[in-house]
Structure formats: structure tokens, C-alpha cells
Amino acid sequence: MTRYALALDLGGTHVRAAVVDEHGHVLRAVRTRTHAEQGPDAVIERMLALARQILEQRSEDERILGVGVAAPGPVDVASGMVMHPPNLPGWGTVPLADLISRSLDVPVWLGNDANLAALGEHRFGAGRGVAHLIYITVSTGIGGGIIVDNRLLVGAHGLAAEVGHMPLVPEGPLCGCGHRGHLEAIASGPSIAREAQAAVARGWKTSLAKVDHPLRAEDVVAAARDGDQVAREILARAGEFLGRGMALLAHLFDPQRFVIGGGVSNAGDLLLEPARAAARRHVLPAYRDTFDVVRAQLGDDAGLVGAAALVFDMVG
């Protein structure tokens, strides 16, 4: 009898379900669009339908130990509640773990999606065997998860590791949260796209001027890969601030490794080299050779396999 976890990932655009084994292998997976605007009841019904669908395909020797759910933060881990997630407008406070548990009649554990992605990378990805690591996802927002001594840091109320909201430039660009100069307001995908739009508007010589849709971070990454100097400088600037954030985190957590995921990390060393250089420049000498900076390995699956890892951790 092999042991499995059912993993659910509640994202802003997609809901996903997967059966995952103890080695982090995804046995089978299904997905559907979230349609968050329809409100929690409809979305949860859709999640439950996915879960049932994937459970019905189960073979005889599949033992499902429980359900792990990756949900947008803030999440109250102890009570299994989603707490007014900014990425699911209008959701308020939802006892998600309880609702799923009652409907499927299995134990359910809930975690913040970026936290669980960190757990996934730690157990099955770029952080295997690394006892102290910090995962940062650079995407529409910037989130993270922190592993201290092989354990996920959740904090007193499940609110730890909010790395996107480190203030780096006091009077810097406005962040989605209403404060200024946070890492997310400088180095996230939309911030990179905004810099690119500004460069085009200023008439700088760049292939981005020829893009015939609203610029996205992917366009900047693609142009930088093709050697576009303006695109490279925009990514280097985002990397510089990502590196300053890592320096700050190194002083506080003393990790061995930073794992960088999320769509913008597809830029690879165009983002990470400036980040490494800035991190080394901004740390005290004692920290200079204490960590490395690598790309995440699990891509979009990180949250799913992290949710499964949470189940295996809890069941023991």
C-alpha cells in the first residue's frame, strides 16, 4: 500500500488538484478556472468536484492520508481559515479546511501558498537537504516561505515570511498594500512591466517599443534574452533590489540558500546575477560566503507538492 496525499491549490486564476506520493511525484492532476468573482461557495464547490473526480480515479492500493490545501495568504494555519485574501476579493473569513474536511470526510491541513511552495522546494526541489533556506517567488506579487532548521516558519498567527513587503526605498513606488517602496512594488512582474512601459514612453531604443499588446514581464524577459539592453537593465534593477532584500534576510535568518521561483525567475541569471552581486555588496563581511542563490525547480507544482508535504509532515 503506497501512501499518498491529495493536494489542492487555490490560485487566483486556477484551482488545481493532484494526487502526490511521498517522493513528491504528481501521480495525476486536474485543473479548472477559479472564477473567484463568483465568491467562495461556488469556488469551493468547484474545488470539491475536482477533488472527488481525482479520488474516483483511485486504484485499490492508493491510500490517501489526507488533504493539503495551498491558499492565498493570509491564512490562519491553526484554525484552517482563509483570512480576507487580497487575491480573492470579497472572500472575507472562510473556514476552508473545515468545509473540505466535512465534505470529503478526510483530515485537511491548510497553508499559505508561498509558504507551501517553500516547503515543496525544500522537500523535493532546489532546497533538498538544506536545513535553512528562504524561498522567494517573484510573480504578480512577491511572496515567500522560510525554512528554519528543516521546519516551515509560520509564526504566531500563520503570517510569517511576508517577504514582498520589506520596505527598501522609503519614498519608492506605491505598493498594492498602500505603503511605498516595498520589494513587491519594485521587483514584481507588474513593476517590471511598468518600468518597461515607462522606458518605451521615454523613447528609449528598445525592441519593447514594437510589442503590440500591453507590456508584461514576460516580454521584458524575452527581449532581454534576445540581447535588448534596455530590457536587461530593467531586469538588473529588479535583481538589484531583490538582492538588497536577500541581504536583509541573510542578516535576520542566516540561511544557506535562497531559492527564487515565480514567473519572473524564468529570466535566470539576467535577474539572479545582479541579485547575487547586490546581496554580497549589502551584507556584513561575516555573511559574504554563507549562502548561495539558485532557481526553483518545481515551477507551478511547488505549491501542490508542498501541500502534499504538509500532509506527510502532519501524519508523520
Residue 211 interacting with a copy of itself (CB under 8 A): no
Q: Residue 270 CA to chain centroid, in angstroms?
A: 20
Q: Which residues contact 27 (CB under 8 A, 6 or more apart)?
A: 4, 18, 19, 20, 21
Rounded Cα distance, 300 and 113, in Å: 11
Long-range contact pairs involving 297-301 (C-beta distance under 8 Å, separation at least 24):
297/121, 297/125, 297/126, 298/24, 298/117, 298/120, 298/121, 298/124, 298/125, 298/126, 298/261, 299/261, 301/18, 301/26, 301/120
Residue 253 interacting with a copy of itself (CB under 8 A): yes
In the complex, minimum distance from the CB of residue 51 to a copy of itself, in angstroms, rounded to a whole number: 28
Residue 295 interacting with a copy of itself (CB under 8 A): no
Residue span binding a copy of itself (CB under 8 A) among the ranges 41-49, 58-66, 117-125, 286-294: 286-294
Rounded Cα distance, 193 and 187, in Å: 10
Residue 201 interacting with a copy of itself (CB under 8 A): no
Residue span binding a copy of itself (CB under 8 A) among the ranges 21-29, 42-50, 62-70, 243-251: 243-251
Rounded Cα distance, 177 and 170, in Å: 14
Q: Which is nearer to a copy of itself, 24 or 164 (CB)?
A: 164
Using alpha carbons, list the distances in angstroms from residue 172 to 36, 167, 191, 241.
31, 9, 12, 12
CB count, 10 Å around CB of 151?
Answer: 12
Q: Which is nearer to a copy of itself, 135 or 253 (CB)?
A: 253
**Chosen residue from 165, 194, 237, 295 binding a copy of itself by CB under 8 A:** 165
Q: Which is nearer to a copy of itself, 99 or 154 (CB)?
A: 154
Cell numbers linked to 141: 506579487
Residue 83 interacting with a copy of itself (CB under 8 A): yes
Residue 41 interacting with a copy of itself (CB under 8 A): no
Residue 163 interacting with a copy of itself (CB under 8 A): yes
Q: What is the per-residue binding string for a copy of itself in 116-155, x denoting contact by CB under 8 A?
A: ---------------xx-------------x-xx-x-xxx
Residues that bind a copy of itself (CB under 8 A): 74, 83-84, 131-132, 146, 148-149, 151, 153-163, 165-170, 177, 179, 244, 247-256, 282, 284, 286-287, 290-291
